[in-house]
Structure 1
Amino acid sequence: MSTQLTQEEPPHKAEQKPDPLVPANSVQVPGLAGARLAKTFRALRHRNYRLFWTGQLVSLTGTWMQSVAQGWLVYLLTKSALSLGVVSFAQFLPVLLFTLLGGVAADRFDRQRLVIFTQSASLVQAAILATLTLTGVIHVWHIIALAFLLGTINALDTPARQSLIHELVSKEDLMNAIALNSTAFNSTRIVGPAIAGTLLGALSAWVHSQFAIETDTATRIAVGVCFALNALSYLGVIVGLLLMERHPHRKNNTHESVWRSLWAGLSYARRDSRVLALLSLMGVSSVFGFSYMTVLPLYAGEILRVGPQGYGLLMAAAGLGALSGALLLASLGNYQRKGFLLTIGNFVFPVMLLVFAQSKIFALSLIALVGFGWGLITQNALTNTLLQTIVPGELRGRILSLYTLMFMGMLPFGSLQIGALAEKLGAPVALTIGATICLGFGLFVWWRWPHVRRLP
C-alpha cells in the first residue's frame, strides 16, 4: 500500500542547498532577452553584482574622462612628450611600490569596506584636481603629486575590487562576471573619452566665444569640468557598495606576518610556470604596448593634427575594439581553448600597434586602434580568468595583486621609456620599437612555454 501511495505522489526534485555566495533575492535574466543575451549577461542576475557593475559603469566613465582631460592639460601646459611620460610615471609608480601590500590587505580585510574607502579617497583626489584647475592655479607639479596620490589609492583598490567579484556571484558565474567587468571597463573607455573630447572641444569653444577669454584658458576650464564630473561619478560605485547585502566577513590568518604572506604569493607564482608565463606576458605588454597612451596626445596634436576631439576619438577607438573583445569573451561562456585565444590576442595587438605607429591617416589610425584594443583585452581578460582558475582561493588577492603589478605597476617604466624615446626619436619610432618587442616576446612565449596556448 505504501508503494502505491508513493507512485501516486507527484515526483519531487532533489532539494538544492543555496549557494552561500548568491544573495537570496538573486533574479534570473528574462527569457525574452534571448538565450544568447541571457548567457552573455547571466552574472547580472545577482543583485550585489548588479549594484557593483552599475556603479562601475558610472565611476569608470568619469575615470576615463579624467584620464583624457589630464593628458590634454599636461600637453597644454608643457607641449612636452617627456612631461606626459613623467605624469604617467608618477601615477603608476605607487602601483609598483604598494600593490603587493594591497593584495595582502585584500586577503586579510573586508573587501567591500576596503573598496568603499578607496573609492571615497579617489573622489577627494578628483575634487582637489578640479578645484586647482578651475581656479587657474594648477601647475604641472600639482598634477604629478595628485597623480602619485591616485596611484597609491589604486594600489589598494585594484586587488580588493577584483577579488570582491568572487564574493558577489556564484561559482559558475565567476568567469562571466570577470568578462562583464572588462565589458564595463571598455564600454566606458568609449563613452568617457568621447564625452571628454566633446567637452574639451565644444565647451572650451563656447566659453571662448561667450566670455572673450584666451583659448588655452577656456580649454583649462573645460578640463576642470571633466575633473569635477569624475569626482561626482565616484558616488555611483560608493552608493552601490553601501546598498549591497552584507555577508559575514571570513577572516584569513592575520597572525602571519605581512612579509611571510607576500613571500607565499611570490613563491607560488615563481613555481607555477603557467602563472609565471601569464604574468610575464602582462609585464612586457604593459611596458612596451599599453604605454602607447602616453604619447597619444602628441599623435593627436602634432602627427594626425585632429585636436582634442580627435584625441577623444582615438581613445574611444581602442575602447571599441576592447569592448567587442570583452563581449565576445562573455558570450563564449566556459570556453575550453582559452590559452589559444589568448595567444591570438597576444599577436594581434602588436601588429595593429605597428600599423598605428606608421599611419598618418586618421581613419586608418582609428581602425588600427580598434584591432589593438581587441587584441589587448583578449589577452588581458583571459590572463585574469586563467589566473583565477589556476590559483587557490586563499592566494587569490596576492596573485591578482601580481597581475595588477604587471599590468599597472610596469606602466611607469613604459611611460618613461616611450616619453624619452619619443622626445629624441619621435613618437612613431618609439611606438614601432615597443610593438616589435611585444611581438618578439610573444614568439618567445610560444617557443618557451608552449603549454600556455593549450590551457583550457
Structure 2
Amino acid sequence: MLGDTFRSLGRRNYRVWVWGALFSNIGTWMQFTTQDWLVLTELTHHDAMAIGIVMALQLAPPLLLMLWTGLIADRVEKHRFLLFTQGALGVLAVALGLLVVTGSVRLWQVDLFAFLSGCVAAFDSPVRQTFVGELVGETDLPNAVAINSMSYNAGRMIGPAVAGFCIAEIGSGWSFVLNGLSFFGVMGSLLFIRREDLFRHARARETERNALTSGLRYVWAREDLRT
C-alpha cells in the first residue's frame, strides 16, 4: 500500500526532480515572506498599500498571461526551457538580495523585481507543471501530481519559518540570496535528469487562435472543469 502511495518516486528522473522542486518551493515561500517583511517594516512604516502593490505586481502577470504562456508550454522543449526560467528566477532573487545586503534597495526596485519575477513565473509555471508528465508518463501521472502538491504545501509550511529565522539571525537580504540559490538546486536536478528516459509528447502545431479556441472550448464542454 505504501509503495503505491509513492510509486512515481520509483522513476529515477522524477525522484531527482522532486527533491530539487522541494528546495525551490521552500525558497519561493521564503522570498514571499521576506519580501512582505522588507516592504512593511524596512522600506515603509507599515504601509499596507505598498504591500498590496508589490503583491499585485508579482501575481498579476501569471493571471493575465497564462492563456498565452500555456500555448508556449505546448510548443517548447520543456527541459531546456526550464533551465532558462529557473536560472532567470534565481538571478533575480540573488540580485534583489544583494541590493538589500548592501543597503541600497529602494521600494521601486522591489516592485520592479516582483514584476519581473511574476513575468518569468508566468512562463515557468505551465511548463513546470506539464513537465511532470514527461518525467513519469501517463500511468504514474496522478500519483506524481499528488506528490507535487505535497511538495508545494511543504514549501508553504517550511519556507516562512526559514525566512523568519533568516530575517532574525542574518538579515532579510540573505533570505533572498538563499532563495536564489535554491533555484540553482532545481537546475542541478534538471542537469542530472536522463533525457533519453523522458516521455516526450508531440508539440502542438495549431495556430495561436485555433489553439486558444480549442482550449477554451474543451474546458467549457466539460462540466467539472467549467464548474
- What TM-score do you get using the length of structure 2 for normalisation? 0.93
Change (3 A) 1:59 1:253: closer
Aligned equivalent of 2:90: 123
2:226 to 267, 270, 276: 276
Answer yes or no: is 1:176 the counterpart of 2:143: yes
Does the CA-based 8 Å contact 1:65-1:195 persist in structure 2? yes
Pairwise CA RMSD of aligned residues? 1.5
Question: What SS does structure 2 have at the residue aligned with 1:108?
Answer: coil
**Distance in structure 2 (CA, Å) of the matches to 1:121 and 1:57:** 18
Aligned equivalent of 1:51: 16
Answer yes or no: is 1:98 the counterpart of 2:49: no
Report Cα offsets for 1:386-424 as digits up to 9, x if no partner: xxxxxxxxxxxxxxxxxxxxxxxxxxxxxxxxxxxxxxx
**Distance in structure 1 (CA, Å) of the matches to 2:93 and 2:167:** 17
Aligned equivalent of 1:226: 175
Does the CA-based 8 Å contact 2:134-2:201 persist in structure 1? no
Code of the aligned partner of 2:24: S
Report Cα offsets for 1:328-356 as digits up to 9, x if no partner: xxxxxxxxxxxxxxxxxxxxxxxxxxxxx
Report Cα offsets for 1:353-379 as digits up to 9, x if no partner: xxxxxxxxxxxxxxxxxxxxxxxxxxx
1:252 to 196, 203, 220: 203
Aligned equivalent of 2:169: 202
Code of the aligned partner of 1:102: T
Change (3 A) 1:173 1:95: same
Aligned equivalent of 2:40: 75
> What percentage of aligned pairs have identical amino acids?
39
Alignment of 1:31-430 (within 5 A): 35-36=1-2, 38-76=3-41, 77-78=43-44, 79-203=46-170, 222-247=171-196, 249-254=200-205, 256-277=206-227
**Distance in structure 1 (CA, Å) of the matches to 2:102 and 2:141:** 45
Q: Which runs of 5+ in 2 are unaligned?
A: none
Change (3 A) 1:250 1:181: closer
Does the CA-based 8 Å contact 1:65-1:192 persist in structure 2? yes
**Distance in structure 2 (CA, Å) of the matches to 1:142 and 1:123:** 16
**Distance in structure 1 (CA, Å) of the matches to 2:201 and 2:158:** 37
Question: What SS does structure 2 have at the residue aligned with 1:172?
Answer: coil
CA deviation after TM superposition for structure 1 residue 250, in Å: 4.4
**Distance in structure 2 (CA, Å) of the matches to 1:244 and 1:181:** 17
CA deviation after TM superposition for structure 1 residue 198, in Å: 1.3
Structure showing greater radius of gyration is 1
Change (3 A) 1:250 1:187: closer
**Distance in structure 1 (CA, Å) of the matches to 2:160 and 2:151:** 14
Change (3 A) 1:113 1:199: same
Question: What SS does structure 1 have at the residue aligned with 2:195?
Answer: coil
- What TM-score do you get using the length of structure 1 for normalisation? 0.47
CA deviation after TM superposition for structure 1 residue 112, in Å: 1.4
Question: What SS does structure 1 have at the residue aligned with 2:103?
Answer: coil
CA deviation after TM superposition for structure 1 residue 190, in Å: 1.9
Aligned equivalent of 1:345: none
Aligned equivalent of 1:303: none
Which is bigger in relative contact order (C-alpha 8 A, separation at least 6)? 2
**Distance in structure 2 (CA, Å) of the matches to 1:174 and 1:251:** 17
Aligned equivalent of 1:424: none
Q: Which runs of 5+ in 1 are unaligned?
A: 1-34, 204-221, 278-456
Report Cα offsets for 1:208-236 as digits up to 9, x if no partner: xxxxxxxxxxxxxx110000111111111
Question: What SS does structure 1 have at the residue aligned with 2:140?
Answer: helix
Does the CA-based 8 Å contact 1:59-1:236 persist in structure 2? yes
CA deviation after TM superposition for structure 1 residue 72, in Å: 0.2
Aligned length: 223
Question: What SS does structure 2 have at the residue aligned with 1:269?
Answer: helix
Does the CA-based 8 Å contact 1:92-1:151 persist in structure 2? yes
**Distance in structure 1 (CA, Å) of the matches to 2:122 and 2:53:** 18
CA deviation after TM superposition for structure 1 residue 86, in Å: 0.7
